[in-house]
Amino acid sequence: MKSCSGGNAVVIGGGYIGMECAASLVINKINVTMVFPEAHCMARLFTPKIASYYEEYYKSKGVKFVKGTVLSSFDVDSNGKVVAVNLRDGNRLPTDMVVVGIGIRPNTSLFEGQLTLEKGGIKVNGRLQSSNSSVYAVGDVATFPLKLLGETRRLEHVDSARKSAKHAVAAIMEPDKTDKFDYLPFFYSRVFTLSWQFYGDNVGEVVHYGNFSGATFGAYWVNKGQLVGSFLEGGTKEEYEAIAKATQLQPVVEDLAELERQGLGFALAVSQKPLPSTPVDGKTVPGLVLGKSLYPLHATAGVILAASIAAFAYWYGRRRRRW
C-alpha cells in the first residue's frame, strides 16, 4: 500500500475482505475499483436496500464498482508485477496492486476418513468435540450445534472463532463445570466512520426501519412468526445490546407493519425487562406478542372516559347549586 500511494488498486470480491480492504486502501489515498459477480455487495447478508446505502457511501469516497463479472487473468510486466486485471466481460483495468478476497473453503482434507465432516466443516458436539472425543475443532472449520436455531452451522467470523476457542479450552480444563456451547451468531464490521452489527439469522421476511439517508437504520428478519435476526448501523452500545437480546429472545411478531413503525424502539422495549415464557406449538418462546397497534382503541376509550367524567361533573355541579 505504501508503494502504491496515489495509484490504482483492484479489489476482487464484495464480501468482508473486499469491503474492509477497499476502505483501508481509500484511507491510504489509493484509487479503488471493486469487482464482484453478485448484484450488490455483501450479498450473503445485506438486503439490496442495505447494500445500496454502503455502495453509495463508498462511491462518495471515490470507489468504483464493477458488478456481475469475475477475474479472468492478470497482465504482468517483465518483472512479474501485475499491471492490469482482465475481466470475463472483456474489460481491462490498469492497476498497481490487486487484493483478491473471494471467500474460503475450510481445509478439512487431512481429516477425511478419520473424523465426521458435515456442511463443509468438522462436525462437533456442544463441547466442540469431534467424532474422536480427544479432537476438538473451533472457528471457521467447525460445524457445531446452534441451540438458538435448532440446527448445526459453520460460521465464518472472528467472534465465533474467539468464543468457540474459549469454550473448547474450558471444556477441556473443567468438563464438569462447562455447559454446552450456546452461541448467538454475531457479525460486525467497521469501515470509514460506519459501524454495523448483525445478530441471529437472515431468513424469512425482512422489515427495514430508520432513516436510510441518515446515520442510523436497521432491519429485522421474521421467520415463522418470530424475530430471528437483527441488523443495526450507527447504534450506541446500549442499542446494539438491545438488538442482541431481542434476537436471543425471539419474540413473536404478528404485525410486520407495526414492527416497522416501532423500529429500534421494539428491540429497546424487549430488552428492558425479562419476558415470561409461553409455549407456542410445543416450543417455548417469549411471552411478548407484537400484534396490531392498540393505540386507536386506547385513545377512543380515553375520550369516552373523559367525556363521561366531564358530564358527571357538570350534572353534579348543577345539583349542588340547586341544594
Q: Please tell me the predicted confidence (pLDDT) of residue 323.
A: 37
Mean pLDDT of 225-248: 97
Q: Please tell me the predicted confidence (pLDDT) of residue 98.
A: 97
Domain 186-272 in the same topology as domain 116-173: no
Beta-sheet pairing, 194-200 with 186-191: antiparallel
Residue with cell 468457540: 164
State which fold the 8-100 domain adopts: FAD/NAD(P)-binding domain (3.50.50)
pLDDT tens digits, one per residue of 94-151: 999 999 999 888 999 999 999 999 999 999 999 999 999 999 999 999 999 999 889 9
Q: Please tell me the predicted confidence (pLDDT) of residue 290.
A: 61
Is 233's pLDDT higher than 50?
A: yes
- Please choose, from the candidates 114, 148, 172, the residue with its C-alpha nearest in 3D space to the C-alpha of residue 247: 148
Q: Please tell me the predicted confidence (pLDDT) of residue 18.
A: 97
Residue 186 near residue 163 (C-beta atoms within 8 A): no
Q: Domain residue spans in the chain?
A: 8-100, 116-173, 186-272
CB atoms within 10 A of CB 130: 20
State which fold the 116-173 domain adopts: FAD/NAD(P)-binding domain (3.50.50)
d(CA 206, CA 314): 53
The alpha carbons of the chain give a radius of gyration, in whole angstroms, of 27
pTM: 0.83
Residue of 64 and 309 predicted with greater confidence:
64
Q: Please tell me the predicted confidence (pLDDT) of residue 281.
A: 46
SS3 44: coil
What type of residue sits at position 101?
G
pLDDT tens digits, one per residue of 262-315: 999 999 999 996 655 544 444 444 445 665 544 444 444 454 444 555 555 555
Q: What average pLDDT does the chain have?
A: 89
Q: Please tell me the predicted confidence (pLDDT) of residue 214.
A: 87
Q: Please tell me the predicted confidence (pLDDT) of residue 316.
A: 47
Which residues contact residue 259 at a Cβ distance below 8 angstroms, ignoring those fewer than 6 apart?
207, 209, 220, 222, 253, 266, 290
Mean pLDDT of 231-255: 97
Quick one: which H or E segment has residue 218?
Answer: strand 217-223
Q: Please tell me the predicted confidence (pLDDT) of residue 104.
A: 83
CATH of domain 186-272: 3.30.390.30
